Amino acid sequence: MFGEKLKELRKQANISQAQLASMLNVGQSTIAMWEKGKNRPEYSSLLKISEIFSVGTDFLTGQSSKTAHSIPVLGYVRAGVPTEAVEEVIDYEDLVLPEKEVKSFFALRIKGDSMAPRMMEGDTVIVKKQAEFTSGDICVAMVGSSDATVKKIIKKDTGIILMPLNSNYDPLFFTPDEVESAPVTIIGKVVELRAKI
């Protein structure tokens, strides 16, 4: 069971729940919930845990069905003003996933600097295809029929904001009517950043 393995690894490494929470950028209560088996981490957090304790994700989850798969890097996505999203395979990234989940993921190459310093031009983001998001998630959003951009998505009662991390760029605000008419569509949530060195 994941929670038991996490607790055992944490204690063996003499790391407190608070320390592990800080390493993973989550709350201590989140670690406690994981260890009690009341919740499971997202894939990006699972990867970080495996790196911290130098174990495979298979060991943590007990799912030996996970193997490395090559997922396509589909062209460039603008981290700035929206730009046309071209689904042209320019590269591949390896990702450890169950076979049944492979088609749920794709990767995009970052162009522009509106998400700097967290995401820089040339970096690659791993994206899970989903329309659902929580306010504050970093997602790939389609604006109109062919424009894509990576932004932090903020939900408001009055609409949604596509928020850059670089203060040199202005947020893009859309009312509910504009979300429908543009339309603004969330095509996926960024679950991992692979930085260019």
Q: What is the CATH number of the domain that holds 129?
A: 2.10.109.10
pTM: 0.63
User: Over 60: is that where the pLDDT of 182 sits?
Assistant: yes
- Of the candidates 114, 128, 152, 189, the residue annotated as catalytic is 114
Domain that holds residue 156: 66-194
Catalytic: 7? no
**Which three-class secondary structure state does DSSP give residue 172?**
strand
Do the beta carbons of residue 110 and residue 122 sit within 8 Å? yes
Residues 98 and 52 in one domain: no
Residues 57 and 71 in one domain: no
Among 34, 61, 88, give the residue marking a domain's end.
Answer: 61
As a whole-number percent, the residues of the chain with pLDDT over 70 amount to: 91
Domain count across the chain: 2
User: Over 90: is that where the pLDDT of 151 sits?
Assistant: yes
User: Over 60: is that where the pLDDT of 22 sits?
Assistant: yes
User: Over 70: is that where the pLDDT of 79 sits?
Assistant: no
Residues 82 and 108 in one domain: yes
User: Over 80: is that where the pLDDT of 194 sits?
Assistant: yes
Catalytic: 100? no
**Which three-class secondary structure state does DSSP give residue 27?**
coil
Residues 39 and 109 in one domain: no
Residues 11 and 104 in one domain: no
Residues 173 and 154 in one domain: yes
Q: Quickly count: other Cβ atoms within 10 Å of residue 82's Cβ.
A: 21
- Of the candidates 7, 48, 151, 189, the residue annotated as catalytic is 151
Q: Tell me the average pLDDT across 84-106.
A: 78
Query: By CB neighbour count within 10 A (0-12 exposed, 13-18 middle, 19+ buried), where does 98 fall?
Result: middle
User: Over 70: is that where the pLDDT of 117 sits?
Assistant: yes
